[in-house]
Amino acid sequence: MSRLDNLQRSMFDLMVAPDAAPFLADPQGWGQARGLETADQGALAARATRLAVYRDLVQFALTDPVEDCFPITQALLEAEGAWKGCLAAFLDSRTVQSPYYRDVAPAFLAWLVDSGWGAERWPYLLPLAHWEHLELELLRHPDGPPAEGLTPEPAPDATLVAEVTLRNLTYPCHVQEAGVEDPIPPDGPSHLLAWRDREGSFRSLELSPTASALLARWMAGDPLGPAAEALGVDRGEALRLGRDLYAKGALAGFRSA
């Protein structure tokens, strides 16, 4: 490893370290432990205070987008005195490798998934964080190619063409009912539809288990009528659901057989 590579790696370690105290107590020894050359060890000692300030700025840049995207998750963990520890563990994992600010919040969610941090103590933590991040994900999602030959009116033999951001989701708790004031979601399965509408706004709708199953069949390509019959749903009710979802901007339209 070159001198520059070693110095860059050491600076990255300092920027994401949970605690700057070991560095500030002995900057030269801190650099020596990482194999830095003597001149670089001295530079650390000479500029330790400035580096500590810069570290604070970097840590703010890496945690501010997390707090912006996950306010309910933050409220949940702050009530237990665990939010700062969560952020420290996230930074210490070195998960954030992208130079782009927009990638920090997705990296935090990915870290929660991969690490399982807090899952045993708060089994609803990951579903809640996923739901909070979903809005950002869908609002940033690129537009799909324009679909041709579609009609706004559903028919029993037609197939559904979903808006490119449409998500049919099932959570083990009612994540949509959690808020900053009461961040613990009620227990029990929740079936939610989420999408970005034609005006570019995030929308969501709670579905019954049957409606969620019907949407799953439609989104898999089953014709509207036969899918409804397979689930014991009245065709008229199924077509009304299709019209309603089209009106709300969740569907691009319908394609006749």
What percent of the chain is helix, strand and coil (3-state, nearest 5)? 55, 15, 35
The domain segmentation of the chain, as residue ranges, is 3-122, 159-255
**pLDDT value for 206:** 98
Checking if the pLDDT of 49 tops 70, the result is: yes
Report pLDDT digits (tens) over 209-223: 999 999 999 999 999
The CATH number of the structural domain formed by 159-255 is: 3.90.930
Report pLDDT digits (tens) over 144-192: 888 889 999 999 999 999 999 999 999 999 999 999 999 999 999 999 9
Checking if the pLDDT of 30 tops 90, the result is: no
Instruction: Please give the mean pLDDT across all residues of the chain.
Output: 93
